[in-house]
Amino acid sequence: MKKLALTALATAIISTSVSAADLKVGVSMALFDDNFLTALRNGIEDAAEKQNVDVQIEDGKNEVGTQLNQIQNFIASGVDAIIVNPVDTDATVSMSSDAEAAGIPLIYVNRQPINIDMLPDNQAFVASNEVDSGTFQTQEVCRLLGGKGKVVVMMGELSNQAALQRTKDIHDVIETEECSGMEIVAEQTAEWSRVEGNDLMTNWLSAGLEFDAVISNNDEMAIGAIQALKASGRSMDSVVVAGIDATPDALAAMKAGDLDVTVYQSAVGQGSGALEAAVKLAQGEDVDQKVWVPFELVTPANLEEYLNK
């Protein structure tokens, strides 16, 4: 795995070890109003507090222009490192270029940048491998359906690499021999949102769409779908619902018997991993350019293990 290091010049400048307590890290989150990203942000804050690192965390408000301005402001203020949870993963080329020009380490967290294989030597990516997320989720749905049935798919924001990869995972699993009896009868974005997931499911139900399972790119949309299904009077025993993230709300829905599958993604692990990478790069140390925090399948059978994580 490729190793990162600051340039020889930068290393010479900080040849006397820089204490973590002397560092300032700028953090730009895609948005604050999201359950998983809130847990991710808390993970960064907790890790920073433990190391006495000064972090300045900004809300990108789900606007690319706002986030780009935040990064420019971090650079202008002379932060020692920048952590970015991208609003739009297609916009990361510009972010990487600006940070590289300023000689400031940059760490992407959770959402994979489009330039992942071309990152400068003082930049890294910390996340969970999305090839696993949708694969684990859909394989379990396939098992529950006995390899056949009609499926609807709720996608996240189409500008987001995770949504695209998780949806691809679903298709890839269904193309396998053991799951080839599954058929996708509808596939549409609900923008990662519980409200939009509810609205989309309501529309599908109103149109008379018949299906045996709901596979959602995240838990929030899955919960919205559950709300709409229950409001319509459909028994939750008659449909399999799957999400991703294992948020507290999702685990509560699983405990209540409404959600059948989710996939644990450690927001705390990603947040602390991103902060650790930022500190090490700022201190001139080596860091793996891709840091994977494993996904884990969560079902009613092992639910208790995750309720207090």
pLDDT digits (tens, 9 = 90+) for 112-167: 999 999 999 999 999 999 999 999 999 999 999 999 999 999 999 998 889 999 99
CA distance 193 to 222: 9
Mean pLDDT of 238-263: 97
Query: How does 177-188 read in b/e, with b if 16+ C-beta sit within 10 Å?
Result: eebeebebebee
Instruction: Report the percent of the chain where pLDDT is more than 90.
Output: 89
Q: State the helix-helix crossing angle for 219-231 and 248-255, rounded to 10 degrees.
A: 40
> What is the average pLDDT score of the chain?
93
pLDDT value, residue 7:
31
Q: Can you list the domains of the chain with their CATH numbers?
A: 3-128+267-293 (3.40.50.2300), 130-264 (3.40.50.2300)
pLDDT of residue 35: 86
Residue 4 has pLDDT above 60, yes or no: no
> Which amino acid does the sequence have at 3?
K
* Residue type (1 letter), 70: Q
**Residue 19: per-residue pLDDT:** 64
